[in-house]
Amino acid sequence: MKGYIGIDIGSISTKGVIINEDEKIIASSYLWTEGNPVLAVKKVLKELRQQIDEEIINIVAVGTTGSARKLIGTMLGATVIKNEITAHAIGTLSLHKDVRTIIEIGGQDSKIILLEDGVVTDYAMNTLCAAGTGSFLSSQAKRLGIRVEDFGEIALTSKHPTNIAARCTVFAESDLVHKLQMGYSQKDIIAGLCNSVAQNYLNNVAKGKKLESPIIFQGGVSKNIGVKTAFEKILNEKVITDENGHLMGALGCAILAMKKNVERPFSFNVSNSDFETKAVECKGCPNHCEVIVVKKDGEKLDSWGNRCDKGSYFK
């Protein structure tokens, strides 16, 4: 049986899946990137390998997406390297063919994707500020001394959510501290934080866009039932979440790798190789390009960043 790997490398988390020829997920992994995408992907590959029988599943293609997609794509010999918008749309459509709106909130960024008849018609991303993302909620959970995984259930117990200014992380933290000192209950503040995440997203990322049903909510924050409920109340629409919502980018690029019909030998032993990356300033012309060089076991795999041929010969 042929298998296809999809890897989604984000700034906060790294996700991986293996799918079969029916586009079904047969193995998956989700872990923290911890500032080292190469090491994170090695760990993901080891977890994926443990979930399959290599005598039955033959990996024939790899796809990558996310902020480190080019680096990891080079490392794994990927046949497909795609942006997050395309990957998330393809992954979501494979499970929800009639989707019209995709709300995605990850660790440090968020995006909205609008579709019609299975085609992306518009999108927007927010990558400049972490307000209203997973890292924002995690930092507030730490401040409150509770697990972020418990945020959603606690938020649902509140009858009077506190208004929290969440347009800016710094202002939100100041407002949260002030509300605590004023005597607001913890559950009302947590519910207020969930509401502010949804409102911040709609006021910024989705500003000026018409969100039509079916609406799919994905990304790590979609696991927070408090934020999901906040979206439903504000939009007055049902918001759908999926147990694999955090894997949609990885699923999408695995499907794209399969549909490209280009097979390339792959071995899980790549996780045992030594990868090195370095930045070199090229002084061959006035551009002074910063060239990124990637090596595998001491041998150059690829380089990029140069704007002319003078910067393509670094080793």
Question: Which residues, in sequence order, are bridge partners of residue 299?
Answer: 296
Task: Answer yes or no: is pLDDT of 311 > 70.
Answer: no
- Quick one: 106 and 213 in the same domain? yes
Nearest to 100 by CA among 116, 89, 79, 87: 116
Check if the beta carbon of residue 71 is closer than 8 Å to that of residue 33.
no
Compute CA distances 274 → 182, 297, 298, whole Å: 54, 5, 8
Structural domain for 299, as ranges: 275-311
* 194 domain residue, yes or no: yes
What average pLDDT score do residues 104-118 get? 89
Task: Answer yes or no: is pLDDT of 288 > 70.
Answer: yes
**260-282 pLDDT tens trace:** 989 998 999 998 888 888 888 88
In CATH, what number is assigned to the domain containing residue 140?
3.30.420.40
**219-238 pLDDT tens trace:** 888 888 999 999 999 999 99
- β-strands 119-126, 101-105 pairing: unpaired
Structural domain tally of the chain? Answer: 3
User: Where does a domain end: 240, 259, 285?
Assistant: 240
**247-261 pLDDT tens trace:** 999 999 999 999 998
What average pLDDT score do residues 124-149 get? 76
- Quick one: 173 and 104 in the same domain? yes
Per-residue pLDDT, 305: 80
- Quick one: 231 and 279 in the same domain? no
- Quick one: 171 and 210 in the same domain? yes
Give the model's confidence band at 152: pLDDT under 50 very low, under 70 low, under 90 confident, else very high.
confident
CA distance 64 to 68: 8
**181-214 pLDDT tens trace:** 888 888 998 898 888 888 888 888 888 999 999 9
Q: What is the dihedral of CA 185, 190, 193, 197, to 10 degrees?
A: -160
- Quick one: 216 and 233 in the same domain? yes
* 245 domain residue, yes or no: no
